[in-house]
Amino acid sequence: MRVPSGRLVVDAPWDDDDVSRYERGQPTRPPRELAVSIPPGVYRVEIAWTAGPYEFLGEYFDGVECAATRLCVSDDPVIMWEMGLGVDDDIDRLQPGKPPQFYADANVGCFADAGAWTTLSAPFRTFKDGRPVPRAIERMPGWCERVRDESQQADLVTFTADSGGVVWLGRTKTGDVATIVVTSGMPGAKA
């Protein structure tokens, strides 16, 4: 995926609470942009899957679920992990034991170039009569989608994010960000 601005949004591509505002063309909440930036560039997105039985509403199923998704910034080894704070997160207001995360009503998260957010997220934010309008996107493996903004050479890539996601930054020995990981649907998961 392309991130020409070096500023990264890690959030849901739309918010169910904003549907009426989308339809009326009113401003919506800002996206969750990370407080750290990465070098402008093209990065691969990888998904880790887990398979096995699970229980849902008292019934048992076999299934495959997305455990985590990562944006690979470099191939350098990660030597430490930290929470991926957003530009609007206040470290003093974080509740102990509750890592900052984004919320995904429809269990979809995304990585997107923050500089092109308005254009990239528009296909997900177009509703009529409270329902999403069919969008022209590129389907990718693992139920992912990609939207491209060729005028800015930027992308948005979706991924499964059950109940939202906790964002982790993997840093190298020099302190550079090597990877950005979103754990999905696993509140106690560590990077």
Instruction: Report H helices in the chain.
Output: 19-24, 117-121
In the prediction, which pLDDT does 173 show? 97
Query: pTM for this structure?
Result: 0.85
Cβ distance 132 to 124 under 8 Å? yes
State the pLDDT at residue 191: 46
Look at residues 66, 44, 60, 17 and name the one whose alpha carbon lies nearest to residue 165.
Answer: 66
Span 38-93, pLDDT tens digits: 999 999 999 887 788 878 789 888 877 778 899 999 999 999 999 999 998 888 88
Task: Give me the phi and psi of 18, to 5 degrees please.
Answer: -100, 5
User: Which amino acid would we find at residue 175?
Assistant: G
Other C-beta atoms within 10 Å of 16: how many?
12
pLDDT (tens digit, 9 = 90+) per residue, 107-131? 889 999 999 998 998 888 777 776 7
pLDDT at residue 20, as a whole number: 77
Q: In terms of pLDDT, which residue wins out, 2 or 57? A: 2
Q: Is 167 exposed, middle or buried (0-12, 13-18, 19+ CB in 10 A)?
A: buried
